[in-house]
Structure 1
Amino acid sequence: MPKVTEQYRVARRQEIADAALRAFRRKGFHATSMAEIIAESGLSAGAIYGHYPSKESLVVDVASRIVDARIADIEKLATLDPMPPPPALPRTIVTAMQHELGAPGIMLQMWGEGVTDPAIRELAASVVHRLRATMGRYVSLWQQRTHGLDPAEADALGAEQSVLVVAAVQSYIVQTSLIPGFDGDAYLRVQEKYLPR
């Protein structure tokens, strides 16, 4: 029997995660069953459960992939010269998230599950910490390049301001998910105007 390579396993997990994300877009995280994810993937139940023992483990992996992609987006912006100012980060993140998820309400559902599910809560907390760290590094680098701050002062500002940038993204997700007629573009313009530079 041919040996399954790590590359094959990674590709298969990606295929399953993509199928789960499509299913979550249609019905949301909570209402989507493993049977629906299996049907969406076109794979056998054994193939799915061989990679993900539960829906929760699949949700954790899908959410981690989404966050990894957003962190990569921010790191890519940091290579530009000039770098976009930090108040542009919330728009970059929510635009990419909407493209990937269809609607960011899936993230809000995941946070809700985290209230009672320790694994989801741990993931949500790690997401916040990772995003704050990435944005803090971005703000620090921007402050050094744009305002000539020394690294220690820039790092301190980055740590403070990253909290505001993450909060702006979280607030967008909550409001666009819960408030009918929420004007996301107007919200982002206000953030771009008032977030510190």
Structure 2
Amino acid sequence: MPKVTEEYRVARRDEIADAALRAFRRKGFQATSMAEIIAESGLSAGAIYGHYPSKSAIVVEVAARVVDARVHDIERLSELTPMLAPPAIPRMLALGMLKAVGSPAIMVQLWGEGMTDPEVGLLATDVVERLRSALTQYVSLWHRRTHGTPADEADRLAVEQVPLFIATVQGYVLQASIVPDFDGEAYLAAVEKYLPR
């Protein structure tokens, strides 16, 4: 039997996760069955279940990829001179997540599923913690570089301010999902104008 490489396994998992995301975009997370994910992927049920034991496991993989990309975006911003002001980061995060998942409603469904599915709930907690950690480091560094704030004070300011930045992203996603006349551009412009610097 030929040996399967790690690169092949990763590529196959990505293929399955991409197929699941396409299905989720069409029908939403809750309404999409494993059978529909299998059909969308063009693979056998055995191939799917060999990589993912459940739909929740696929969701966890998809969400982890999206968050990894956003954390990487924040880390790259730290290398810029001058650094992007923190109130501009919610725009990058919200639009980056929406581009990756295709619909804000999918993200809201995922949050809702986290209330009843422990695996998805742990994922939701992990997502917030990872974003909070990356943003806290960024905001603290921004205060030190931009305002010359001492490290201890910059850390304290970051801890205070970061929940606001995360909440604005969550607010954008929720309103984009349920408010028919939501003006996302006006919302993000207000975030950039009024959030602390």
Q: Please, what is the CA RMSD of the aligned residues?
A: 0.9
* Match in the other structure for 1:91: 91
Percentage of identical aligned residues: 65
Q: Shift of residue 114 of structure 1?
A: 1.1
Q: Shift of residue 116 of structure 1?
A: 1.2
* Match in the other structure for 2:30: 30
What CA distance in whole angstroms lies between the structure 1 residues aligned with 2:133 and 2:159? 7
Letter in 1 for 2:25: R
What CA distance in whole angstroms lies between the structure 2 residues aligned with 1:73 and 1:48? 30
Q: Shift of residue 79 of structure 1?
A: 1.1
Does the 8 A contact of 1:133 with 1:159 survive in 2?
A: no
Look up the SS of the partner of 1:50 in the other structure.
helix
Q: Shift of residue 105 of structure 1?
A: 1.5
Query: 1:88-167 residue pairs with structure 2 within 5 A?
Result: 88-167=88-167
Which ranges of structure 2 fall in alignment gaps of 5 or more residues?
A: none
What do residues 9-49 of structure 1 show as CA deviations (whole Å, max 9, x unaligned)?
A: 11111111111111111111001111111111111111000
Query: 1:175-194 residue pairs with structure 2 within 5 A?
Result: 175-194=175-194
* Match in the other structure for 2:171: 171
What CA distance in whole angstroms lies between the structure 2 residues aligned with 1:177 and 1:168? 14
What CA distance in whole angstroms lies between the structure 2 residues aligned with 1:134 and 1:55? 28
What CA distance in whole angstroms lies between the structure 1 residues aligned with 2:71 and 2:111? 19
Letter in 2 for 1:4: V
TM-score, normalising length: structure 2? 0.97
Look up the SS of the partner of 1:37 in the other structure.
helix
Q: Shift of residue 179 of structure 1?
A: 0.7
Which ranges of structure 1 fall in alignment gaps of 5 or more residues?
A: none
Does the 8 A contact of 1:176 with 1:184 survive in 2?
A: yes
What CA distance in whole angstroms lies between the structure 2 residues aligned with 1:115 and 1:63? 16
What CA distance in whole angstroms lies between the structure 1 residues aligned with 2:52 and 2:170? 28
* Match in the other structure for 2:47: 47
* Match in the other structure for 1:73: 73
* Match in the other structure for 1:195: 195
What CA distance in whole angstroms lies between the structure 1 residues aligned with 2:183 and 2:167? 17
TM-score, normalising length: structure 1? 0.97
What do residues 98-119 of structure 1 show as CA deviations (whole Å, max 9, x unaligned)?
A: 2112212111101101111111
Letter in 2 for 1:32: T
What CA distance in whole angstroms lies between the structure 1 residues aligned with 2:192 and 2:5? 46
What CA distance in whole angstroms lies between the structure 2 residues aligned with 1:105 and 1:151? 39
Look up the SS of the partner of 1:31 in the other structure.
coil
What CA distance in whole angstroms lies between the structure 2 residues aligned with 1:125 and 1:28? 21
Does the 8 A contact of 1:105 with 1:177 survive in 2?
A: yes
